[in-house]
C-alpha cells in the first residue's frame, strides 16, 4: 500500500474519490471549477465528454512541472431523451425532477478523461435507469432530504433513492459518477494495472 498519488482527480465529488480508492488508485484531489453551462445544440454525450476533458485540461494547465501528474476529469448528467436534468438547487426543483423520472426510463451519461504527457483521452458511459411509479408522499419525503441537492438528476443511486429503481442496464459506478471499467482502461495507458501489489487500495487527499 502506498500513499504517493498516481494521479490527481479534478473533482470535489467524494463519490468519485471513493470509487478510485475502491479499485486501488492512489490519488490527490484537486477540484477544477468550470462554467458547466450547456452549449446550444449540445447533446448529453457531447456535453459530459467536453466537461470531463475541460476539467482535466484545466487542472493540468495549473500544475507546475515539478508537481505534474496525470489528471482525471469526469462529468455526469441525467437525460430524458435530449432533455438534461442538472443538479437541483432546492427541494422544489428536486421534486420536479422526480415527477419527470417517475415511472420512466432515463439515461445517465458519464464521461471520464485522462490528461497526461501523451495528451487527453476520454470515454463515455451510458446507462439506462428505470424508476417505478412514485407516490406524491415519496417524492415529497425524498425531496426534503439533503441527498438530491448535489446529484445530477436529483437522486443518488447508492442512497435512499435505490428504493425507486426497478432496473439498471449499464454501469452502476458510472451512474454514481465514475465508470470504473472505462477509467481502468484509461489508466492502463499510464502503466496502472488492477490488482497489482504496488497499487493496493488507498488514496492521498
Per-residue pLDDT of 58-72, as tens digits, reads 999 999 988 899 999
Residue 172, in any domain of the structure: yes
- Catalytic choice (75, 117, 133, 198): 75
Residue 205, in any domain of the structure: no
Residue 205 clears pLDDT 70, i.e. is over it: no
Instruction: Determine the Cα–Cα distance for residues 60 and 9; give it in Å rounded to an integer.
Output: 11
Q: Which helix (H) or strand (E) holds 76?
A: strand 71-80
pTM for this prediction: 0.91
Give yes or no: 75 in active site. yes
Within 10 A of 117 (CB to CB), how many other CB atoms are there? Answer: 8
Within 10 A of 65 (CB to CB), how many other CB atoms are there? Answer: 5
Residue 190 clears pLDDT 50, i.e. is over it: yes
Residue 143, in any domain of the structure: yes
Domain that holds residue 161: 7-199
Q: Which helix (H) or strand (E) holds 128?
A: strand 119-131
Instruction: Determine the Cα–Cα distance for residues 177 and 75; give it in Å rounded to an integer.
Output: 7
Residue 42 clears pLDDT 70, i.e. is over it: yes
pLDDT of residue 196: 67
Residue 139, in any domain of the structure: yes
Residue 199 clears pLDDT 70, i.e. is over it: no
Residue 64, in any domain of the structure: yes
Residue 1, in any domain of the structure: no
How many distinct structural domains can be found in the chain? 1
Q: Could you tell me which residues come within 8 angstroms of residue 181 by beta carbon, excluding any fewer than 6 positions away? A: 125, 171, 173
Amino acid at each position: 500500500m502506498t500513499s504517493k498519488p498516481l494521479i490527481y482527480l479534478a473533482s470535489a465529488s467524494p463519490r468519485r474519490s471513493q470509487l478510485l480508492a475502491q479499485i486501488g488508485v492512489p490519488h490527490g484531489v484537486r477540484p477544477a471549477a468550470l462554467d458547466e453551462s450547456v452549449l446550444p445544440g449540445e447533446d448529453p454525450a457531447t456535453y459530459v465528454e467536453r466537461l470531463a476533458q475541460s476539467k482535466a485540461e484545466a487542472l493540468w494547465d495549473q500544475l507546475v512541472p515539478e508537481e505534474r501528474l496525470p489528471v482525471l476529469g469526469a462529468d455526469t448528467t441525467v437525460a430524458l431523451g435530449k432533455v438534461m436534468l442538472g443538479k437541483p438547487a432546492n427541494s422544489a426543483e428536486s421534486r420536479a425532477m422526480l415527477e419527470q423520472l417517475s415511472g420512466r426510463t432515463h439515461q445517465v451519461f458519464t464521461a471520464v478523461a485522462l490528461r497526461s504527457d501523451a495528451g487527453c483521452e476520454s470515454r463515455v458511459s451510458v446507462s439506462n435507469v428505470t424508476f417505478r411509479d412514485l407516490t406524491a408522499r415519496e417524492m415529497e419525503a425524498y425531496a426534503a432530504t439533503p441527498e438530491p441537492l448535489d446529484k445530477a438528476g436529483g437522486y443518488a443511486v447508492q442512497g435512499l433513492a435505490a428504493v425507486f429503481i426497478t432496473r439498471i442496464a449499464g454501469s452502476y459506478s458510472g451512474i454514481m459518477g465514475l465508470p470504473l471499467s472505462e477509467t481502468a482502461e484509461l489508466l492502463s495507458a499510464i502503466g496502472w494495472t488492477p490488482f497489482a501489489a504496488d497499487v493496493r487500495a488507498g488514496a492521498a487527499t
